[in-house]
Amino acid sequence: MVNSYTLLTCYDLFRFPALFRKYLIRAVGLLLGLGYFSAARAQYSAWQPSVEVGGYAATTARTPFWLRANQWGRVPLLAPVATARLGLSYDSRRVPPDTSLTTRPTFRSRLSWGAGAEGVYNLGRSSEVLLPEAYARVQWGPFEVWGGRRREIIGLVDTTLSTGATSWSGNAQAVPKIQVGIPDFVPLKFLKNYLSIRGFYAHGWFNTPYIKGAYLHQKALYGRFGLPNGKVRGYLGLDHHVMWAGQADYLKGSILAVDGKLTSDFRDYLWGVVIGKIPKQHRNERFNNFDGENRVGNHVGHYSLAVDYRWGTSTLLLYHNHYFEDASGMMLQNIPDGLYGLSWQRRPTQYAFFKLRKILLEWLYTRDQTTPTFDVPGSRFKGNDNYFNHAQYREGWSYLGRALGTPFIAPKYELVPELGENSEFFPNNLIEVYHLGLEGTLLDRVQLRAKASYSLNRGTNNIPFQTTVRQFSSLLAFELPVFRWGHTRLTGQLAYDQGGLLPRTFGGYLGVRSTGWAASDRRFP
């Protein structure tokens, strides 16, 4: 019998997600309680509440692409739908806004803690209750440990206008996990601050209906080259994600697993998942030839390369995500596959009727995949990488039905019916996308955002489309302050899909959102 004083071992964390949830609930409650009393004793609130109510509508039963993509799985595929979102977070590092001390630091202690949660209720053709976020965190200096479900941006991309990082875009709900790492770049003093690093290591649980007991392994390491406040800085990083272990009825009697089970042995975790090595044995009592000739788990990831240049009030960011799923991709055999982006951003200046604050251009390409065929004569590498699909995991690189990577590689149920019939879970991963994003302000009050994406789609190497399928998707969004109290804003979005990949539809969203009701906040619009 495990009690509240039992030490959690690596074995416990792998085997007992229910135990993890119990400790997480206790931690969130404890930290929120401590935060409440700490905030009550102070002259300010370290809480950040949020409430949003609104509705989605469309000319067909489909919600347009850019209304639902990269929304952490909160927006349903089918419209119309009414939605209500309630969130609450606590951060011990928050300090009161003070206009008399403009140089006052934002954080004032090395030890900090926090917690947060968001609940979503969608009422439409069917009702659903979601918990996109619920986490607790503790940080000492640059090091942070947190557990739960937390919205993250993983990878070097533009954070507001991008199509999303290739391997982890924020398109699906966050996978519950425990993570330890350095969330912000930390300069290395012995190198005179010319090199800064950040990274993390995580273990999570894929609690999906189609396969039980599957785990998530994640790690990332990034380096920033140049002084923290330098005009020119370079970035180089690696993101590695693995779905591994699990058992399912569809695996029973197949050559893909042993008695319907995929190995969860700690030795295979270290050798095949963490290090990514092919097993020394082709088969044993834990796995068969499929894992023995490849490697344990469904591996995906990307290299990140970026340069930013700052001058005056502007910042230019050039970045690339090189996507990979196996050794051939890691050895750059699938060039030019990946995401390429160029972002220009300008800081606010004097008043103007309209200000263009950001422009983004992106190109996403995934048609190389090393070679069209799996076997490559004369090479030690394999081809036909078949992005996001996987033989052992029937729904591939997805979570709760949504793609974990770029939303432009979409599950078959999102496409028009004739393209998704008799195919794998992701029937279209030979794509080329041209993307434009814009941000601006009107009258220094109305925030405007626009996205336009044009894609060329060719199916997969296994089942190619008969002809190239073209698709256009766009979005126009605004945010308008309406009340000072609670930072209340009116938000609206219009989106349009036209082409042969997705059902043709036009739709929109209208809602009201409030954040923060502390007395010290009411002076801010």
What are the structural domains of the chain?
Answer: 10-245+297-521 (2.40.160.130)
pLDDT at 3 over 70: no
pLDDT at 383 over 60: yes
pLDDT at 9 over 50: no
Core vs surface per residue 157-193: b (16+ CB within 10 A) or e: bbeebbbbbbbbbbbbbbbbbbbebbbebbeeeeeee
What's the rounded mean pLDDT across residues 364-387? 78
Tell me what pLDDT residue 97 has: 47
Tell me what pLDDT residue 347 has: 86
Q: How many Å apart are CA 208 and CA 476, to the nearest integer? A: 34
For residue 428 the two structure tokens come to: 């279209």
For residue 83 the two structure tokens come to: 């939605």
Tell me what pLDDT residue 329 has: 87
pLDDT in tens, 349-365: 777 889 999 999 999 99
pLDDT at 401 over 70: yes
Q: How many Å apart are CA 339 and CA 407, to the nearest integer? A: 13
**Cα 185–191–197 angle (5° rounding)?**
20
CB neighbour class for 271 (10 Å; exposed up to 12, middle 13-18, buried from 19): middle
43 — pLDDT class (breaks 50, 70, 90)? very low
Write down the mean pLDDT value for the chain. Answer: 87
pLDDT at 366 over 70: yes
Tell me what pLDDT residue 13 has: 38
């009116």: which residue's tokens? 490
375 — pLDDT class (breaks 50, 70, 90)? low
Tell me what pLDDT residue 316 has: 98
pLDDT in tens, 473-522: 999 999 999 987 768 999 999 999 999 999 999 999 999 999 875 433 33
Cis bond upstream, residue 80 (ω within 30): yes
Q: At residue 52, what is the residue type?
A: E
pLDDT at 184 over 90: yes
In DSSP terms, which residues pair with 363 in a beta bridge? 340, 434
In DSSP terms, which residues pair with 343 in a beta bridge? 317, 360
Q: How many Å apart are CA 407 and CA 165, to the nearest integer? A: 10
Lowest mean pLDDT among 197-201, 379-383, 405-409: 379-383
Tell me what pLDDT residue 293 has: 80
Tell me what pLDDT residue 473 has: 99
Q: How many Å apart are CA 79 and CA 124, to the nearest integer? A: 7
Tell me what pLDDT residue 18 has: 54
Q: How many Å apart are CA 211 and CA 264, to the nearest integer? A: 14
Cβ atoms of 479 and 445 closer than 8 Å: no
Tell me what pLDDT residue 376 has: 63
Tell me what pLDDT residue 213 has: 95
pLDDT in tens, 287-306: 888 888 888 999 999 999 99
More confidently predicted of 450 and 103: 450
CB neighbour class for 365 (10 Å; exposed up to 12, middle 13-18, buried from 19): middle
Percent of the chain with pLDDT over 70: 84
Q: How many Å apart are CA 382 and CA 373, to the nearest integer? A: 8
Residues 6+ apart with CB under 8 A from 186: 142, 196, 197, 198
Q: How many Å apart are CA 454 and CA 517, to the nearest integer? A: 41
102 — pLDDT class (breaks 50, 70, 90)? very low
User: Quick one: CA dihedral 185, 188, 191, 197, positive or negative?
Assistant: negative
pLDDT at 85 over 90: yes
> In a 3-state reduction of DSSP, which class is residue 416?
coil
Residues 6+ apart with CB under 8 A from 229: none
Q: How many Å apart are CA 260 and CA 294, to the nearest integer? A: 18
What's the rounded mean pLDDT across residues 25-41? 47
